[in-house]
A and B are shown apart, each in its own frame.
Chain A
Amino acid sequence: MALLEVRDLKTHFHTDDGVVRAVDGVSFSVEKGKTLAIVGESGSGKSVTCLSVMGLNPKRGTDVSGEALFNGRDLLKLSGEELRNIRGAEMSMIFQDPMTSLNPVHTIGRQLREAVHVHEKVPKQQAQARALEMLKAVGIPRAETRTDDYPHQFSGGMRQRVMIAMALINNPDLLIADEPTTALDVTTQAQIISLMSRLQRDFGSAIILITHDLGVVAETADEVMVMYAGRAVEQAPYKGLFYQPHHPYTWGLMDSMPNLAGDETDLTPIPGTPPSLLRPPKGCKFNPRCRFVMDVCRETEPELKPVPGDANHLERCHLEEAVKQAEIERITTERLGAVS
């Protein structure tokens, strides 16, 4: 059984202007020790999906429905107290911005000890020892001398390491990382990615990685879910997603990424901007930006269905398979370079 099984998750926010369907019927599962990457533009609902699973959305004016089975319990039905016991212990989260997600007025050591004390009654020395051990595990040099430092004394990459140490200190089964490397330089990003995969091997945690960087996905993900306007438009194991991408939005993402392997003079952006979730377009939500739009796309929204010949590869598009294959051929040769 999967570690986390989310079925038909819907998160709707009631605002003065109407109902925002930020997440509208998303299903996915994460296996132990595996990485699921959720990809999409800002506003596609990828962060809200994870916040809903963690029970971190504001209560007022928010409707969350569906199921999120984690270790056999439905997270969406738990009380605040029960959720607090799970968060930080069995599952934890790394936020995007390491500059603002640490408390500036407490030392790093104190914040790490707090993460232990919330879940376990242990003496201070023991918590301190755990904090030190984690700081060493994430590669903070001279960790002993740095536990009494404040966050401002650390660089961005170091702070992100501290965040990872804090998230892993109680050895969670599931780690949700919301754009953990977006704010960082490439060299630091490479350090953090290799750190996360090493820790995943050592601790056996499952990871949900939220990102818009397909390069990071190619390097780390086992499963990929591409989201657009609150819906999953394509879901597949990583090989299927990169070598047989089936949805025009996934093509658009691949075409708009400048890439060291691709031709440097050719970028095709996705025209326009993501739709307002207050008044989403009729039919397929991607139709106003889609190069392959047909009449049927403007009328009915396609179902999420398996692609021919691969039951694990789901997509949501009306386009005929023959048309897609031609485009898949072009994209994989142009964007990925040599394909085996």
Chain B
Amino acid sequence: MSRRFRMRSLLMRRAGWQLAGLGLMMLSLIAGIGLLALSGWFITASALAGLGLIAALDIFTPGAGIRLAAITRTLSRYGERLVTHEATFRLLEDLRAEVLSRLLNHDEMFLKGLRRGDTLSRLTADVDILDHLYLGVTGPTVAAVALSLLAVVLLGLIDPWLALLTAGTLLVLNPLTVSSTRRLGRAPSQALTQALPDLRSMSAAGLEGLNELRALDRTSDYADRINEQSIRVVDLTRRLGALDALGQALVLLTGMIALWLALVLGLLIFAENQISAPVLGLVVLAVLGLNEAWLPLPMAWRKLSQCQSAVERINTLSEDPAALPRPECPELWPEKTSIRIDAVTFRYQPHQSPVLENLDLDIKAGQTVVVTGPSGYGKSSLALLVMRQVDPEQGRVLIGETDVRHLDPDDLRHRIGYLPQHPVLFRDTLAANLRLADPEADEYRLTRALERVGLGDFLADLPGGLDTWLEESGANVSGGQRRRIALVRLMLSDPDIVILDEPFESLDGDSARQVTAALDDWLTGRTALIISHATEILPSHDRVISMTVKEAFE
């Protein structure tokens, strides 16, 4: 089954809101046109009646019509804006839920790939940009086309040529303008999607590495490079701005030509006595009013390409197949959770040299084993293999007596507790972050758990206590506190196997000792693999394994 996001089906889900918005949009346009057209009719008829050229005129009906149009115009515009915004926000709500649930189907390596670079930020922005699709493109386009078609029909009742040459001109030339400005805008838009992130990463590196640059007196060179890239970006946006101006001027020109044709043809038909003077006034002002519906379209459609690439990017996300095959008939989670690594060779990329070569390792159920060694020697890949986020090239990884490839991936996720090297905390309250592991935990339990790893003072200092909001990437939390909060979160869950990747990094001696004490307690009865480059402070363990060359020496 195709997992593509279908914009149409998403749009349909809020069909009621969408249609209400569209209806109000058209109503306000019709009221605007009606106001002008009726006024034109009324003034012309009044002038003729005043001169005695036509018989007495009923002034109440048109007067009431004009007032009604004025009020309708005001109210429907207000209502339209409220309803379309409401519809858009609901649509975005659906879209976020959709993206989240689709991504939850992918395996860990794929998600890790997402985290590289700015893919995730772009995805977040992509969802937000899609609000433009309905608000700026679909609604106004449908309204403009429908109204122009309505005008063709109504003017066709008066004279087919008048209908074709006025509203018809709008219906032919405006889409032409819209599609060609959109086509012309595609190349610079495309270039901009590359140029802007490049500028961002260049300036990020420049600001991070200011001292590197200053130490070597390269600052002004680098500033020049950034300026060149900035000129590239600004120039692309200038071209897009100019294109928008051009599109708008062309749509205006088309409207003006339609107006002129309406006047000329109207005068000709009037001269042949096929229409009355008030109708002539009505036609000219109606065509003038029709123009309003088309003016916002060129820019809206030019921005549509941004929406499309957003949809495409979201689509590619959901299309990728799972990297690791799921077992067709997964085996039950083993009773005894020993870990055995059996002659495993592993490399990340086919062209790279192996990170692990012919590695053997045995951890009995309930044992704690510490793996130490310098960076780049495959300590972390060991963790990935046990959790089956990657598969070995040769050899087997067994939990109990079962190959992890035959276990249910969801069991592997839920029964193995993992503290990654860079744990993720969410922008949310401290309590909500902790309750991720145990939604039932009460405040007392959370407080106790924090105190046990030495975060008692930290909690006491927080202005809102457990309800304090944790900021972006823990801006109000230090690296060590962050790691300990993630550890507390893990310790609120009840896994059979525990893997801790550098649990003591960025902890000072006292905090590290508190953490080890808390761990001693919690790790009892669980099988644990602790990865650490520091060996001075460790919780009580059964063995230390040092990985120096590409195999383990005990």
Do A and B assemble together?
Answer: no
